[in-house]
Structure formats: C-alpha cells, structure tokens
Amino acid sequence: MAGAKNRRQGPAAASPERNSANGNATAHVTAAARSIADDEPRENIFLLWPNIIGYSRIILAFASLYYMPLHPRTCSLLYSVSCLLDALDGYAARYFEQSTRFGAVLDMVTDRCTTACLLVFLSSAFPRWAILFQGLISLDLASHYIHMYATLAMGGAENSHKNVDKSRSRILSLYYTNKTVLFIACALNEAFFIALYLLSFSSPLLSPSLLQTVPDHAAEAIHQGAQVNSSLLKHIFANPHSAGALELARINKMDSFWPWVLAGVSFPVMALKQIINVVQLVKACKWLAEGDLKARRAMGLPRKRKTA
C-alpha cells in the first residue's frame, strides 16, 4: 500500500515542477506571440483603398440625387461615375489584397440604394408606370438580401455571396464568377434606367408635359425670381429647385435621340438582369428551405401523431 501510495504521489510530487516548466513555456510562447502581433502593422479596415473608393461612390451618388430633379446632364454624369467606380473598387481590392467582408457589404448596399433612388424618381416622373418601378425596387432588394442571407446561413460565414456553384445555378455561377459578364450586366442595367431618366426631360412621347408652354405671367415671375447671388458656393452648388434652375432646365431642353438609342441597346440586358434577380430569389429561397428541412429532421419533426 505504501508503495502504491508512493507511486501515486510520485507524479503528483513532480507535477509542480512540470507545471512550473509548462507555465513558463506557455508564458514565453504567449509573450512571443504578442511580440509578433505588436510588430505586425495594424490595419484600419475602414480606410482600405477599396472602401475609400466606396465612400467616394456614396458622395457622388448623393450629389447626383441633389441635381436629379432639374439638372439631367449633371446628375447623369455624377451617377455614371459613381457606378463605374463599382468596377474600380473590385480591382483595387484584388490589386492591394484588401478584400474584406465590410467592403463587400458596403458595395452591395451602395448598389441597391443608388438604383432604388433612381427608380423612385422614375416612379414620380412616370406615375402611370410607378407600380412597375416599385416592383423592380422590391425585386432587387429582396433577391440580393435573401441570396446573401442564404449564403451566410447555409454556406458559412467565410463563404462569399459571389461563390455560386454551377450545380446550384449555371446562370448565377456565370453571372457572379465571370467579371466581364457581371460588369456588362450591371452597367447596361443602370444605363437603361439612366436613359429613361434622360427621356423624362427630352421625350414628349413619354412625358407629354414637355409639350406645354410657360404662360407669359409665369415666365415673368421666373425671370424676376432668378436673382444673381455673389456667393461662390451658391454659384457652384446652385439650388436645383430655384426658379432660375427651372428656367435653365427649360432652356437647355435635351434632344431625345441618344437617350432612345441607349434605352434600346440596354433594354435586353436590363430584362436579363431582372430574370437573374428572379432566379437568384427562387434559388436562395429553395436553399433556405433545404436547410430548414434538415434542421427539422434533426429535431425529429414532424412528430407522428397517435391515432385513436
């Protein structure tokens, strides 16, 4: 018994030394790890180049919305540059190795919000077709939100919403993995809505109000209200709702030829983009339903009811 006791106590007696040695080793490893971590440069995710480009897109989008009511040329230019920067931030992310989940979410949210704002304006410019534009807004937001949620819930937090396997959907896989297809689809989709926006200022066919003339008393009131202000900022950022801006918009009425050409060229791609949104919505819903079905089976649901 004594021998057994000594055998039991032997390791125990030696354990403080071992524990001390292990503790020192662990402390040295932890200190070394902290030293390495301190030596590594700390990155500010919010100030990475792709995200800075994303902030620039937001600023340009807000500026385009400011000029949207009465300055179609300025608005279209700012809006188009904001959309084109969408391709640049992806290139910057790959070039600088700065792809982040925050950047991906920022990019998607900016795309959805800018498109929605333009469609809201088109709803007011063409009230007869307002329900169609409202439906396009809903489809765009719903399909992308459910697709991203399904990717995170079913594919894991590390999986990108652009990693779509061909077995799940060939058209979505081509759309998200081929950068040329993705750029052309998104660019021409936005180009169609920009063309409609320009046509609201230039085409009497779509906007019969353009055929109306300004009465003499209204024109006189407009000229009296168009006062010149000496402030430099007010010259640069003129109020788009002022009487002077309204008169300027009427004088600089646009020709509808090129907007019609742009609308005709981009319409098939825009229609295809909406079909892709529908496919994306349906596939994401089915993927979530598959996950729900597996989870319910794991919980033993539905339970068999006893029959009398």
**Whole-number Å distance between alpha carbons of 193 and 6:** 87
Determine what percent of the chain is predicted with pLDDT higher than 70: 71
Identify the band that residue 203 occupies on the pLDDT scale cut at 50, 70 and 90: confident
**Whole-number Å distance between alpha carbons of 250 and 214:** 9
Give pLDDT tens digits for 54-82.
999 999 999 999 999 888 999 999 999 99
Specify the CATH class of 45-211+237-292 in words: mainly alpha
Give, in order, the Cα–Cα distances in Å from 300 to each of 228, 290, 294, 297.
76, 15, 10, 5
Identify the band that residue 96 occupies on the pLDDT scale cut at 50, 70 and 90: very high
Residue with the bigger pLDDT between 27 and 232: it is 27
Best CA proximity match to 154, nearest among 299, 294, 305? 294
**Whole-number Å distance between alpha carbons of 90 and 112:** 17
* Model pTM score: 0.77
Average pLDDT for the chain:
82
3-state secondary structure of 228: coil
The residue ranges of every structural domain in the chain are 45-211+237-292
Residue 19 exposed, middle or buried by CB count within 10 Å (0-12, 13-18, 19+): exposed
Judge whether residue 279 has pLDDT over 90.
yes
66: which 2 tokens? 């400011």
- Non-local CB neighbours of 173 within 8 Å, separated by 6+ positions: 164, 165, 166
Least-confidence region, from 88-92, 121-125, 139-143, 219-223 = 219-223
**Whole-number Å distance between alpha carbons of 80 and 57:** 10
Least-confidence region, from 116-120, 208-212, 285-289 = 208-212
The 10 Å Cβ neighbour count of residue 201 is 23
* 172 and 276 Cβ atoms separated by less than 8 Å: yes
Give pLDDT tens digits for 168-180.
899 999 999 999 9
Q: Which residues are catalytic?
A: 111
**Whole-number Å distance between alpha carbons of 108 and 102:** 10
